[in-house]
């Protein structure tokens, strides 16, 4: 069994919080845990560690690899854009929420 430890206010936590908040999600609805066991990352062929992002309200979770050359944050943002965590708690009245619909603009005077 692999042990997952939370790293309070780590760089990964700060990046996740910023990404979630900027897209209108309630940060407190998400939990980030980083695997301290190298075997888990090696099992999936990664050189670093594993991050588990879990939505408390829905139970949905995703795993991302970290380490040299890792693009875990980009992969997380792409998952959000594809609708992962779509049922998560949203902030009231705020945040940028990406949409696939074009944004209407006013013509220049």
List per-residue pLDDT tens for the chain, 109 residues long: 333 444 446 788 888 899 999 999 999 999 988 876 556 556 655 566 788 999 999 999 998 887 777 788 999 999 988 989 988 888 765 444 444 444 444 555 5
Q: How is residue 102 written in tokens?
A: 């074009």
Domain count, the chain: 1
Q: 17 CB contacts (<8 Å, ≥6 apart)?
A: 27
Residue 70 lies in a domain: yes
Residue 57 CA from chain centroid, whole number = 15
C-alpha distances in angstroms, 50 versus 34, 43, 57? Answer: 6, 10, 22
Residue 74 lies in a domain: yes
CA-based nearest residue to 79, from 10, 25, 11: 25
State pTM to two decimals. 0.66
Residue 48 lies in a domain: yes
- Look-up of token digits 């979770």: 61
Residue 94 lies in a domain: no
> Rounded distance, CA 68 to CA 47, Å?
7
Residue 24 lies in a domain: yes
Determine the structural domain holding residue 75 and report its residue range.
4-81
Residue 105 lies in a domain: no
Residue 20 lies in a domain: yes
Residue 9 lies in a domain: yes
């Amino acid at each position: 069994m692999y042990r997952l430890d939370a790293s309070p206010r780590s760089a990964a936590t700060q990046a996740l919080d910023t990404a979630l908040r900027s897209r209108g999600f309630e940060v407190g609805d998400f939990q980030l845990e980083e695997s301290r066991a190298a075997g888990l990352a090696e099992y999936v062929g990664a050189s670093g560690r594993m991050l588990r992002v879990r939505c408390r309200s829905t139970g949905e979770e995703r795993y991302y690899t970290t380490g040299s050359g890792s693009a875990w944050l980009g992969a997380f943002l792409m998952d959000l854009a594809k609708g992962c965590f779509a049922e998560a708690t949203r902030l009231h009245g705020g945040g940028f929420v990406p949409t696939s619909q074009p944004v209407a603009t006013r013509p220049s005077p």
